[in-house]
Chain A
Amino acid sequence: MSAREEILSGIRRSLKATGAEGPRRAAVGARLAMRPRGVVPARGRRDPAGRTALFVAMAQAALATCAVVTSPQDAPAEAARFLRDANLPARLRMGADPLFADMDWSATQIEISHGPSDGHDLNGLSRAFAGVAETGTLMLASGADNPTTLNFLPDNHIVVVSADDIEGDYESAFDRLRALYGDGLMPRALNMVTGPSRSADIAQTMLLGAHGPRKLHIIVIDAAG
């Protein structure tokens, strides 16, 4: 008997089941199809302005920095300001996201490069397809638009998220994901990011910038802001 068969039959022996029982199969099929939500914290249930405010407050509590701009066209200047104020070189690596392609970067002094990171980029720029207000969490999907390596290798990560894409809770963000990729389907990597990288492994002292970015700067585009 193969390892697979032996493990499955061992589980069935322990559960006193055969695997062919109608009610058991129906229970599993129903859960996978219905995806019950369980307990969703009330704190995310707010109007759009309230969600954006909570998202910003929670992201800051997780030690990210945040700025709200009213139009995508204001994002390059805000990125430039962040780099300048942090004494960072005016260089930025990004993917092919159409939102960035439509922005006018020429007014800034930023030297732009495109594509995944090889580990030698100081600053990266990504777009989150969703934000989650309950914990100030960004959701980023892999692909040519936003290469996963940009989320982890650069020392400083700037992430743009639209206020319209900020949901109250994880469950609503998962629905947004299913609308983009289809039921039961996922991008190769879905990164939920809450604040910059950190570690407390040396003498239980929390320090930022373990392997991922030391700084996470979030630019929220909010026309109502």
Chain B
Amino acid sequence: MSVHAHPTTPQFSANAHRAMGDGNLQEALARLRVGFSTRRAAAIADLPEFDALRDAARDIKIHTLAHLDLYIEAYEQRVKESGGHVHFARTAEEARRIVLDICAAHGAKTVAKGKSMISEEIALNDALIAAGVRPIETDLGEYIIQLRGEMPSHIIGPAVHLTKDQVEADFRRAHTHLPHDRDLTEPSAMLAEARAVLREKFIAADVGITGANFLIAETGTSVIVTNEGNGDLSQTLPKAHIVLASLEKITPTLEDAAQILRVLARSATGQEMSVYTTFATGPRRAGDPDGPQEYHVVLLDNGRSAMLGTEFEDMLRCIRCGACMNHCPVYHAVGGHAYGWVYPGPMGAVLTPSLIGVEKGGQLPNASTFCGKCEDVCPMRIPLPKMMRHWREREFERHMTARPQRAGLGVWAFFAKRPALYRLGTALAMRALAFTGRTTGRISKLPLAGGWTATRDFPAPQGRTFQSQWRDRTKAKAR
């Protein structure tokens, strides 16, 4: 069974530990740390209106979510008018059933798939295979991880965790019809090979499945944003096109989509604009020489309508650009697979407990240094750290926090409620720590903090407590 159905999220600590020791992964992550953030910063420096666009994009989503029921109705009406079909799915199971029924109606043997996180969320490939339909991932990164039987490790770069040599080995294993002695040392040779292998599969596919970056209410249009062109081939060549999208992709107008597009690519890859932004409206028309004969949209809820009106509503603004994980020190250290399910990084830490339950996903909101970088770079200004704190509170309320941690918090709370005792205790502890580290300024072993000091030293305090310094400075200012 795949990770989709059985998240390894509850084993986050063990996953993370393993990831830190994985040489290939660490090599890939070292490249990621520099590449994405440098390119994003350069793109933003070139657009003086970037921050104003972030505000505009955030406000569009806030307005849309507050009127979501009405925009969904308007969108559905427009899709019908253009000859398409909208299918509502409450759960992953319902969404899979709708897709399988459409495939069955077309006698589909193979399905060409554009990159879709919703497809991952509902574990569609497992269901297609079980029904005798062969799913072919056509995004190069998705294709590579499909060959490996893996989950995407990043929402925009599914194979970002792999080195060139690993991909070469996968291609040699999978493409056995090609000469054994062919030269695949250059990534360009591998790209050409994948292009040729997948081209034949596109043309043979009976049904095409894509995700959507936006569903536009004004026109009943689905929008995909890609760099490869695979999504376009997936939705243009087969007889039927199925769009998988969740409720919050609804966007009122073309103008609103333009606002969000201006922050999307810049935040994601640092491009001014992705190569292909495609607006699809209904099936092939009279006189059309190409395009699908049927156009279906599967509109998935899967817990999202219940997030509206809660402290997690802001998460529904997410446009899946990946900036939060590209700038996250935790993601940088452990990569995406450690998160154990579909959505990694800070956005995954907030979304995963909503979708698979805090019982399974509760470790993720704890995997944060609360440095705040994710919120700083989020184009939709989603308060990710705040929402991680909300999850921690829920976890605590449900008595899911580990006993030593609860006990520790209990001890802290005892002192925090008694300020005089707290001041005395911290002053004494501070002196003791300063004494312990008096020679080197560092402490290599601490009782009850062995987990921390096992891999790094604890810096010894150099002066007085924060509170006493604060008191003195406030006094100095008053003078």
Bound together, the chains give a CA A25 to CA B87 distance in angstroms of 23
Find out whether the CB atom of A11 lies under 8 angstroms from the CB atom of B247: yes
Chain B residues positioned under 8 Å from A2 (CB to CB): 88
Chain B residues positioned under 8 Å from A8 (CB to CB): 69, 72-73
Cβ proximity bits A130-141 to B, threshold 8 Å, 1 near / 0 not: 000011110000
Bound together, the chains give a CA A17 to CA B269 distance in angstroms of 39
Bound together, the chains give a CA A32 to CA B77 distance in angstroms of 13
Chain A residues positioned under 8 Å from B159 (CB to CB): 201-202
The residue among A17, A32, A38, A207 with the most chain B CB atoms within 10 A of its own CB is A38
Bound together, the chains give a CA A61 to CA B66 distance in angstroms of 39
Whether, in the assembled complex, B228 has its beta carbon less than 8 Å from a beta carbon of chain A, the answer is yes
- Please tell me which one of the listed residues B70, B78, B256, B308 contacts residue A38 in the complex, with CB atoms under 8 A apart: B256
Find out whether the CB atom of B283 lies under 8 angstroms from the CB atom of A7: no
Find out whether the CB atom of B69 lies under 8 angstroms from the CB atom of A196: no
The residue among B49, B140, B229 with the most chain A CB atoms within 10 A of its own CB is B229
- Please tell me which one of the listed residues A10, A17, A193 contacts residue B301 in the complex, with CB atoms under 8 A apart: A10
Knowing A7-B247, A7-B305, A184-B78 touch, does A143 contact B218 (C-beta < 8 A)? no
Whether, in the assembled complex, A110 has its beta carbon less than 8 Å from a beta carbon of chain B, the answer is no
Chain B residues positioned under 8 Å from A190 (CB to CB): 221, 278-279, 281
Cβ proximity bits B296-309 to A, threshold 8 Å, 1 near / 0 not: 00010100011111
Cβ proximity bits B147-187 to A, threshold 8 Å, 1 near / 0 not: 00000000001111011100100000000000000000001
Whether, in the assembled complex, A41 has its beta carbon less than 8 Å from a beta carbon of chain B, the answer is yes
Whether, in the assembled complex, B22 has its beta carbon less than 8 Å from a beta carbon of chain A, the answer is no
Whether, in the assembled complex, A192 has its beta carbon less than 8 Å from a beta carbon of chain B, the answer is yes
Closest A residue by C-beta to B144: A201
Find out whether the CB atom of B259 lies under 8 angstroms from the CB atom of A38: yes
Find out whether the CB atom of B272 lies under 8 angstroms from the CB atom of A194: yes
* Count: A-B pairs, CB below 8 Å: 271
- Which of A69-77, A84-92, A97-105, A209-217 touches B? A209-217
Knowing A7-B247, A148-B236, A211-B198 touch, does A62 contact B275 (C-beta < 8 A)? yes
Tell me the count of chain B residues lying within 8 A, CB to CB, of chain A.
Answer: 102
Whether, in the assembled complex, A65 has its beta carbon less than 8 Å from a beta carbon of chain B, the answer is no
- Please tell me which one of the listed residues B53, B261, B285 contacts residue A39 in the complex, with CB atoms under 8 A apart: B53
The residue among B68, B74, B87 with the most chain A CB atoms within 10 A of its own CB is B68
Cβ proximity bits B90-133 to A, threshold 8 Å, 1 near / 0 not: 10001000000000000000000000000000000000000000
Cβ proximity bits B33-48 to A, threshold 8 Å, 1 near / 0 not: 0010000000000011
Find out whether the CB atom of A142 lies under 8 angstroms from the CB atom of B275: no
Closest B residue by C-beta to A151: B232
Whether, in the assembled complex, A118 has its beta carbon less than 8 Å from a beta carbon of chain B, the answer is yes
- Please tell me which one of the listed residues A32, A37, A119 contacts residue B217 in the complex, with CB atoms under 8 A apart: A32
Find out whether the CB atom of B232 lies under 8 angstroms from the CB atom of A191: yes
Whether, in the assembled complex, A107 has its beta carbon less than 8 Å from a beta carbon of chain B, the answer is no
Bound together, the chains give a CA A39 to CA B195 distance in angstroms of 39
Bound together, the chains give a CA A199 to CA B115 distance in angstroms of 13
Find out whether the CB atom of A197 lies under 8 angstroms from the CB atom of B229: yes
Whether, in the assembled complex, B89 has its beta carbon less than 8 Å from a beta carbon of chain A, the answer is yes
Cβ proximity bits B209-243 to A, threshold 8 Å, 1 near / 0 not: 00000000111010000011110110011000000
Chain A residues positioned under 8 Å from B162 (CB to CB): 203
Chain A residues positioned under 8 Å from B388 (CB to CB): none
Find out whether the CB atom of A209 lies under 8 angstroms from the CB atom of B191: yes
Find out whether the CB atom of A35 lies under 8 angstroms from the CB atom of B218: yes
Whether, in the assembled complex, B439 has its beta carbon less than 8 Å from a beta carbon of chain A, the answer is no
- 16 A–B contact pairs at CB < 8 A? A6-B90, A7-B247, A15-B68, A31-B256, A41-B47, A115-B289, A118-B203, A152-B233, A169-B258, A190-B278, A194-B275, A201-B140, A202-B159, A210-B191, A211-B230, A212-B228
Other A-B pairs, 19, CB within 8 Å; known A14-B305, A152-B233, A188-B283:
A3-B88, A31-B253, A31-B256, A39-B53, A39-B259, A149-B236, A174-B258, A185-B219, A186-B279, A190-B221, A190-B279, A191-B232, A194-B277, A197-B275, A198-B275, A204-B32, A207-B188, A210-B227, A211-B195
Among all A-B residue pairs, the 9 with the closest Cβ atoms? A212-B229, A210-B228, A201-B141, A14-B308, A201-B140, A10-B305, A190-B279, A14-B309, A203-B164
Residues of A within 8 A of B (CB): 2-4, 6-8, 10-12, 14-17, 19, 24-25, 27-28, 31-32, 35-39, 41-43, 58, 61-62, 95, 115-116, 118-119, 134-137, 142-144, 147-149, 151-153, 169-171, 174, 177, 184-205, 207, 209-213
